[in-house]
Structure 1
Amino acid sequence: MAMPNLNLKALTVLVRATDALHELIKTDVAQYGLNPTEFSVMELLYHRGQQPIQLIGKKVLIASSSITYVVDKLETKNYVIRKACPEDRRVTFAELTDSGQRLMDEIFPKHEQVINQAFQGMEQQEIEEMIRTVKKIGYQSQDV
C-alpha cells in the first residue's frame, strides 16, 4: 500500500480552512449589506485613510479591473467618495465618507470578534507558527 502524500493532505486541509473562513467573512459582512470585496476596500480605507484607487487592488487582492466597479458600488451606497489628486491628474483617491466611517466604527469591532472566535482554540504561539508556515508555502509556490 502506498504511503499517503502529506503534501496533498496539507493542501486539502488548507483549502478547506480557507473556504470556511471565506464563508464566515461572507456571512458576517452580508448582514451589513456588503460583500467581502466591498468590506475589504472599506477596511483598507478605514485603517489607512484615503488611498489611490489604482493601488487598492494590490492591497486587497482583487483584480484592478474590478476596483472601479467596487468603488462605484460603494459610492452609490454613500460609503466612499472619489477625490482627484491635486498634484497628479492621473491619480484619483478613494476615501470613506462620514457615513462609511460611522458604519466601520460600528461593524469593525463586531467583525474582529467573529474572526477572533474562528481562531479561539489556538494559542498565540500556534498562530504565529501558522503565519510563518503559510507564508513559507506561499513563497515556495511562487518559485515553482
Structure 2
Amino acid sequence: MTKDTERALKLFIVLSRASKVILEEAHKPIEKFGLNPTEFAVLELLFHRGRQPIQKIGQKILLRSGSMTYVVDKLEKRGLLERIFCEEDKRVTYMSITSEGKDLMTSIFPENAESIESIMAALTVEEQELAIDLIRKLGLSVKSLS
C-alpha cells in the first residue's frame, strides 16, 4: 500500500468517525421533540424556505421518493405539514408547514443551532472557514467523478 493510499484511507476513516459523532450529538435536541433527523430536515426546509414541491424536498435533503412519501405522511399525520395540490399541474404536490409545525420549529431550531455552534467551537473561526472550503472542495470533486 502506498503512502498516498494510506493517507487517503486515514482521512476517510477520520471524516467518517467525526461525521458519525457530530451527527449523533447534533440530533439530540431534535430527538427530544420526537423527531428523527430526516423529519427535522423536511420541517427545517419548509420552515426556512416556505412551500416546496415534494419532489424538490427529496432532492434538497437527499432522500429517495419512497422514503420521502413515508416521512411526509408521518409529519402530516402529526399535523406538522400539509399537502397543497397544484391547480395548474395535477402531477405536482406542494408541502407546506402548518402553524403547529412552525411553533415546533420555533421551539427546536434555536437549541439545535446552539448545539451545532457548540460542537463546531472546537475549531477556531479560521479553522471552520478552512474546513468549509476543504470539505466543499472534496465533495465537489467526488460529485464530478460520477
> What TM-score range do you get, normalising by the shorter chain?
over 0.9
Q: What does residue 10 of structure 1 align with?
A: 11
Query: Does residue 1:105 correspond to 2:116, yes or no?
Result: no
Q: How far, CA to CA, are the matches of 1:40 and 1:25 in structure 2?
A: 12
State the TM-score, normalized to the length of structure 2. Answer: 0.91
Counterpart of 1:53, as a letter, is: I
Question: Aligned AA for 1:83?
Answer: I
User: What is the CA–CA distance in structure 2 between the aligned matches of 1:112 and 1:3, rounded to whole Å?
Assistant: 39
Q: Distance in 2 between matches of 1:128 and 1:58?
A: 26
- 1:44-71 deviation line (CA, Å, top 9, x unaligned): 0011001000111110111122111100
User: Which residue pairs with 2:50 in the alignment?
Assistant: 49
Output the amino acid matched with 2:59: K
What SS does structure 1 have at the residue aligned with 2:142? helix
* Structure 1 runs of 4+ with >4 Å offset: none
2:91 equivalent in structure 1: 90
Q: CA deviation at 1:9?
A: 1.1
**Cα distance in structure 2, aligned partners of 1:13 and 1:43:** 28
- Alpha-carbon distance in 2 for matches of 1:28, 1:15: 22
1:79 and 2:54 are equivalent in the alignment? no
1:25-44 counterparts in 2 under 5 A?
A: 25-44=26-45
Residue 6 of structure 1: how far off its partner (Å): 1.5
CA distance, structure 1, for counterparts of residue 111 and residue 28 of structure 2:
13
TM value normalised by structure 1: 0.92
Of structures 1 and 2, the one scoring higher in RCO (CA 8 A, sep 6+) is 2
Alignment partners' CA distance in 1, 2:17 and 2:126: 22
- Following superposition, the deviation at residue 137 of structure 1 comes to 1.4
Matching residue of 1:128? 129
Instruction: Give the distance between the partners of 1:85 and 1:26, measured in 2 at CA.
Output: 33
| Gap regions ≥5 residues in structure 2 | none
Structure 1 alignment gaps of length 5 or more:
none
Q: Is the 8 A contact 2:29 2:108 kept in 1?
A: no
Native 8 Å contact 1:84 1:92 kept in 2: yes
CA offset at residue 3 of structure 1?
5.0
Deviation at 1:139, TM superposition (A): 2.2
Confirm whether residue 115 of structure 1 aligns to residue 107 of structure 2.
no
Give the Cα separation in 2 of the matches to 1:111 and 1:139: 27
